[in-house]
Structure 1
Amino acid sequence: MDDFSSDDESINNNSSSPTPSDYAEIVVVRHGETAWNAISKVQGQLDVELNETGRQQAAEVGDRLSREPKPSVIYTSDLQRASETAQIIASKCGRVEVVKDADLRERHLGDLQGLVYHEMAKANPKAYKAFMSKNEEMEIPGGGESIVQLFVRSTSALDRIAMKHIGERVIIVTHGGFIRQLYNRACPNGGPCGKVLNTSVSVFHLDADDKWIIKMWGDVSHLSQSGFLQSGFGGDKNSG
């Protein structure tokens, strides 16, 4: 875990203490591995299910979270790889309600969706050029989102959920590109966030004064049996 800080408060591993009444504790989990992750195939908002490794990872993170304070609710992207991860976590945590939310989806990557990463430049050079552009307002042909659009959607979604749950602990299951934007909001002057690995756990505190603090970032200490995809594909910079 990297040693970053936000608002002069250090990221640490203390996510198991009771949640005070003045902020929401949001536990953000990336979905488990898919077959497309394993072969570096771009998913975006295409609906790909977990593979067997991903289901094992979901069980392991569920076991971990079951030993921590029980969440009030679990929110999840409505895409299969996230919603299945969320259901597995819920089953481990005592039948917690699972709410699907389309705003928690991965970045829409337009015409690049369904392509293998190393073939994108050749298969669709126009969309690839837009994806690689340093202009964060550049949209990807085929209905793809810009970085700015993803940032607004992801941070607004987290804000909305947090304001409904001040004084509570909730879990959100979502995607690598989405989670990277949450880091950018909480640590705008921080270093690179690194890879967001499958079923990694990050903990955010959000209060009514719009203060964001990261208390834990990208922890995968629970993955003792299944391990994780070394490339981090979909949770690295290639996730958008």
Structure 2
Amino acid sequence: MATCIVSNEPTINPMVAVVSESEGTIEIVPHDVAEIVIVRHGETTWNASGRIQGQLESELNEVGWKQAEAIADRLGKELKPTAVYSSDLKRAKDTAEMIAKKCHCHEVIVVPELKERHVGSLQGFVWGEIQEKVPEAYHAFFSSEKDLEIPGGGESFNQLCERSVAALEEIASRHKGERVIVVTHGGVLRAIYMAITREPTAGKVLNASINVLHLSEKKWAFKSWSDVAHLNEVGFLQRGFNGDSLQQ
């Protein structure tokens, strides 16, 4: 399976500004652009303990709920979204529901294709123990072969990339000239970023970060990446999600 490549455009392009309401100007999304605000869910109990979630469930912890509230407060002051979408995993849905309430959206639209990567036998283990306890899955996860599935029922990086990109394309097709919010996971964000920019790493993908993507036809470009300015008073895990090293 070929590596997922979305566009031949430069990595991060200049974008049409969307100015906040507090500055006294009208916010506009160009008529041929879908603006997708992609949010990583708030911190969970497993995030805090360094345990690998994958598609297993883990609840938002106290910090995670505060982060979700901080995201909601910020997005509630910006251009009103037409819709709020979410992964079907609870940590994402809980974050999305708080955002939707603050943004006066009546429902959260659940999209299963936005769920976290299934990482097979790695799920449930602490990052620091996987090389010894599940070596085959460890090597598959960190392999440069992007079409290698992770033992134990896991997805390849390309499979994750293709379903994530397809989900965003479908959402974008419904919302030209509009802003929407999508709440998803660190692995999904990493895959989307690497597919669009063709960079070998996405760096740290932080809990409760805001990432703004513009989609026009088949051209994709990030307006902002891993923005956590709204978390200054709440705090966040500095190690974030980084599938390119063991600094989890």
Classify the secondary structure of the residue corresponding to 1:25.
strand
- Cα distance in 2 for residues equivalent to 1:57 and 1:95: 19
Aligned partner of 1:136: which letter?
A: K
Question: Which position in structure 1 is the counterpart of 2:237?
Answer: 229
Which one of 9, 13, 16 corresponds to residue 13 of structure 2?
Answer: 9
Classify the secondary structure of the residue corresponding to 2:229.
coil
Q: Does 1:179 align with 2:176?
A: no
- Aligned Cα root-mean-square deviation (Å): 2.1
Is the CA contact (8 Å cut-off) linking 1:71 and 1:170 kept in structure 2?
Answer: yes
Question: Which position in structure 2 is the counterpart of 1:202?
Answer: 211
Query: TM-score, length-normalised on structure 1?
Result: 0.91
Question: Which position in structure 1 is the counterpart of 2:221?
Answer: 213
Unaligned runs of 5+ in 2: 1-8, 21-26
Q: Deviations over 1:53-77 (max 9, x none)?
A: 0000000010000010110110000
Classify the secondary structure of the residue corresponding to 2:151.
coil
Q: Deviations over 1:183-232 (max 9, x none)?
A: 122212x4743111111001111012x00011111100000221110111
Is the CA contact (8 Å cut-off) linking 1:23 and 1:167 kept in structure 2?
Answer: yes
Query: TM-score, length-normalised on structure 2?
Result: 0.88
Aligned pairs for 1:66-215 within 5 A: 66-188=76-198, 190=199, 192-208=201-217, 210-215=218-223
Is the CA contact (8 Å cut-off) linking 2:12 and 2:222 kept in structure 1?
Answer: no
1:236: how far off?
A: 4.8
Unaligned runs of 5+ in 1: none
Question: Could you say if the C-alpha distance between residues 8 and 54 of structure 1 is closer, same or farther in structure 2, counting changes exceeding 3 Å?
Answer: closer
Aligned partner of 1:134: which letter?
A: S
- Cα distance in 1 for residues equivalent to 2:94 and 2:164: 20
Aligned residues: 233
How many percent of aligned residue pairs carry the same amino acid? 49
After TM superposition, the runs of 4+ consecutive aligned structure 1 residues lying more than 6 A away are: none
Classify the secondary structure of the residue corresponding to 1:10.
coil
Q: Deviations over 1:69-117 (max 9, x none)?
A: 1101100001011000001111111244211111000110001100001
Classify the secondary structure of the residue corresponding to 2:183.
strand
Aligned partner of 2:184: which letter?
A: T
